[in-house]
Amino acid sequence: MAEILVIASHRSGELNPGTLEVITAATELKQATGNKISVVIIADKPDQYVKALSVGGVDEIIKVSVPQAEFQPDYYESVVLAVADERKPQLILAPHGVDAWSFMPVVAAKRRYGCATDVFEIRYEDGKPVAVRAAYAEKMHMELDFPHKETVVLTIRGNTYKPSETSATPAISEFQAPAVEPRTRHIGFHAPDTSGDVDIAQAEYILSIGRGIAEEDNVEQFNELADQMGFTLGCSRPIADNGWLPKSRQVGQSGKTVSNCKLYLAMGISGSVQHMAGMKHVQTIVAVNTDAEASIFNIARYGIVADLFDIAEELKQHFQ
């Protein structure tokens, strides 16, 4: 029986929910192929994650103790390679995210396994995996196959599969981590200073601005408009990178997910994957953009193709 390895991801003692989504992806493949699912948990105290990982179609949890609580690429790579050398899995899966970026391609490269990142669909054709991912800034999709590869490494895009919730009673095993000298050393975490600022993750009505506002001097008028409308002002990455708004206002993968938002008004935001990761779940998204082809219109409920300054000016009249 072929095996699927899922590499669990965690930070500061919390399991990354993406791991449970990847378990769902694996469970669907198990139903189609009969493959066994083994989850590898690499941590200083792997026991603490066992219960949370006993879900879906998981058959086995492989606990691997390493000296460091937080992610470290040399530990992860050496463990995954050692487990894979022994088990010869068909697939090695992990959530697509910053930790995976630091080690999954290295695992694939060291053994010349098949590899694809940011995958949102996996299926088997003639007993071989086929992965689907985006191309050309989401304008196209590409289907990849992996000729002559016995093992394929895939990172799975977040919010593609529902997190696995049904409980399971997997076998629990332990695996001895190979001795390695880690070449990076964790010093600490730095959280952005959000004191005194609103928590955008809690906001229900958000007016979010992007590159389209063009200049720092234009930020103030949108700040006023948001106030007038009773909205919270948010932004996409370039605005925070430029220092025009604090980092705590940034919506997206490397910013905040707006989990409480009921209406998201995106002005001058074209809609990168990274931005959409933080807001695409919002039920009512309205996008204002001059570019009718902007990808934000593919996820918005309402679209306005117009100059955002014209719309802002007119909108003000309705919220005096």
Letter for the amino acid at 151? T
Q: Which of residues 177-196 bind other proteins (CB under 8 A)?
A: 183-192
Going 177 to 183 to 188 to 191, the CA torsion angle's sign is negative
- Pick from 216, 220, 241, 259: which binds other proteins (CB under 8 A)? 241
CB of 60 to other proteins, least distance (A): 27
d(CA 100, CA 89): 18
> Facing residues of 267 across strands?
209, 288
CB of 101 to other proteins, least distance (A): 4
Is 137 a binder of other proteins (CB under 8 A)? yes
Name the token pair of 250. 């940034």
Q: Which span sits near other proteins by CB under 8 A: 52-60, 160-168, 170-178, 285-293?
A: 285-293
Q: Which of residues 260-279 bind other proteins (CB under 8 A)?
A: 262-263, 265, 273
d(CA 121, CA 132): 5
Instruction: Measure Cα distances from 160 to 20, 149, 270 in Å.
Output: 11, 25, 21
- Pick from 237, 258, 269, 276: which binds other proteins (CB under 8 A)? 237
CB nearer other proteins, residue 174 or residue 310: 310
CB nearer other proteins, residue 60 or residue 70: 70
Instruction: Measure Cα distances from 302 to 128, 262, 298, 313 in Å.
Output: 41, 14, 10, 19
- Pick from 123, 149, 211, 281: which binds other proteins (CB under 8 A)? 149
Is 115 a binder of other proteins (CB under 8 A)? yes
Is 82 a binder of other proteins (CB under 8 A)? no
- Pick from 2, 69, 134, 177: which binds other proteins (CB under 8 A)? 134
- Pick from 142, 171, 216, 224: which binds other proteins (CB under 8 A)? 142
CB nearer other proteins, residue 57 or residue 89: 89
Is 240 a binder of other proteins (CB under 8 A)? yes
d(CA 210, CA 30): 42
**H-helix or E-strand spanning residue 237:** helix 237-241
Is 216 a binder of other proteins (CB under 8 A)? no
Half-sphere exposure of 133 (CA within 13 A, CB side): 17
CB nearer other proteins, residue 23 or residue 131: 131
CB nearer other proteins, residue 12 or residue 176: 12
Site size toward other proteins, by CB under 8 A:
91
CB of 183 to other proteins, least distance (A): 4
Task: Report residue 36: phi and psi, to 5°.
Answer: -85, 140
Half-sphere exposure of 151 (CA within 13 A, CB side): 24
d(CA 118, CA 108): 15
CB of 17 to other proteins, least distance (A): 11
Name the token pair of 39. 């989850």
Is 176 a binder of other proteins (CB under 8 A)? no
Is 310 a binder of other proteins (CB under 8 A)? yes
d(CA 113, CA 279): 34
Query: What mask, x for binding other proteins by CB under 8 A, covers residues 21 to 60?
Result: ----------------------------------------
Is 303 a binder of other proteins (CB under 8 A)? yes
Which residues, in sequence order, are CB contacts of 20 under 8 Å at separation 6+?
52, 55, 56, 163, 164, 165
